[in-house]
Amino acid sequence: MSSSYRFVMATEIIFGIGASQELASIIEEHGKNKALIISDKGVENAGLLLPIQDNLKERGIDWEVFDEIEQSSSVQSVDKGVEMIRNKGFDVIIAIGGGSSIDTGKAMGLVAANGGCCRDYAGSNKAKLPPLPVIALPTTAGTSAEVTDVAVIADREINARLGLRSPYVVPKVAIVDPLLTVSVPAHVTAATGVDALSHAIESYTNTATSVPMELTALEAIRLIGENLRSAVANGNNIKAREQMSMACVLIGLAYRNTRLGILHAITGPFCGYYDISHGVANAVLLPHVMRFNMLGNYEKFAKIARALGVSGENLNARQLALSSADAVQELLTDVGLPADFKSMELNRALLPEIAEKAMKSGNLAINPRQATKEDLQSICEKVF
């Protein structure tokens, strides 16, 4: 752990039941009046855009919808949206949906203000100018994209997920209304919830962490352990939805300041080569990564076990740490997520190339245990 640290909270967060109805007034507060709404067909079909649009209409704010968002947002979608912004003069972006929609909106805001195309900003701190303001309204409790400084965009031409990381990527405002998550199907609730858990665990255990990030990440782990099963079992359980949304915000504040670990180093190229959602890939690989990493800090993994409800009586630190991965595996089973990818008949011959690309991730440097290419490939092979 570093002797000094920086803790940044750059996004204004408005949290609570019904908070989405404050959208129009927030847009007016920022002196904007022409909005591009970024969303996807699923959000639109669920009727979540209608009250948002009515809210804007009541206050005389013009809007159009861009809903061409894939399961993993792409560079093509970003560039198409940027062209629309430039041609029609939108002055604010409203990104409503899961991580793909919000990351697309964040990338559009960056590229629209700085010129060029999406690929120009892959990497860290490539932008020189502040972005078009983005207001994020998450409809899932998973990615924490509403408060983070990275937009992850798929580049299918090179089988990779590009990370656009910059202080200018962070949304101006996050409106976190748990009611927007109620219509999310159980399987999506499960996948995004464990995705959030993976962010919390990696943020908590990596070597770039510090006291504020540890506290927020560990509390998020506890909230997920206590509420994800209930949110999956009954999507109308408002209390569980609210607690999951809060966990997601806490996680975002943590890993906004710490980065992650080898799990996300792996799943970047893994999802680039295989047609698997980011959340499911993180979920299936998470217990295996935990078992590999706990040698680097048994005490922290023991605390994860306790946060997930393991009593720990008569267990030493090593045994309790091992039980943390078992507790996650039980959670996956309970919420209906797969334990492996054996039924998908994925091409195992791609694993050396995936491991090679994973080794280039900056997340390796702060992972609690040093990892080689062979280690990463071995972790991947456990899910086949």
Distance CA 238, CA 227 (A): 11
- What is the model's pTM? 0.89
CB within 8 Å of 340: residues ≥ 6 apart = 284, 382, 383, 384
User: What pairing do the DSSP bridges indicate for beta strands 160-165 and 150-155?
Assistant: antiparallel
User: Is residue 13 within 8 Å of 249, Cβ to Cβ?
Assistant: yes
User: Is residue 78 within 8 Å of 72, Cβ to Cβ?
Assistant: no
Classify domain 186-381 at the CATH topology level: Dehydroquinate synthase-like, alpha domain (1.20.1090)
Distance CA 60, CA 273 (A): 45
Residue ranges of the domains in the chain? Answer: 12-181, 186-381
Q: pLDDT (tens digit, 9 = 90+) per residue, 273-313?
A: 888 888 899 999 999 999 999 999 999 999 999 999 998 77
User: Is residue 323 within 8 Å of 312, Cβ to Cβ?
Assistant: yes
Q: Which CATH number fits domain 12-181: 3.30.750.24, 3.40.50.1970, 2.60.40.790, 3.30.70.100?
A: 3.40.50.1970
From the number of C-beta atoms within 10 Å of its C-beta (0-12, 13-18, 19+), residue 186 rates as middle
Q: pLDDT (tens digit, 9 = 90+) per residue, 129-178?
A: 999 999 999 999 988 899 988 898 888 787 777 888 999 999 999 999 99
**CA neighbor of 245 nearest in space, from 13, 15, 21:** 15
Asked if the domains at 12-181 and 186-381 fall in one CATH topology, the answer is no
pLDDT interval class at 4 (50, 70, 90): low
pLDDT interval class at 1 (50, 70, 90): very low
Average pLDDT on 329-352 reads 92
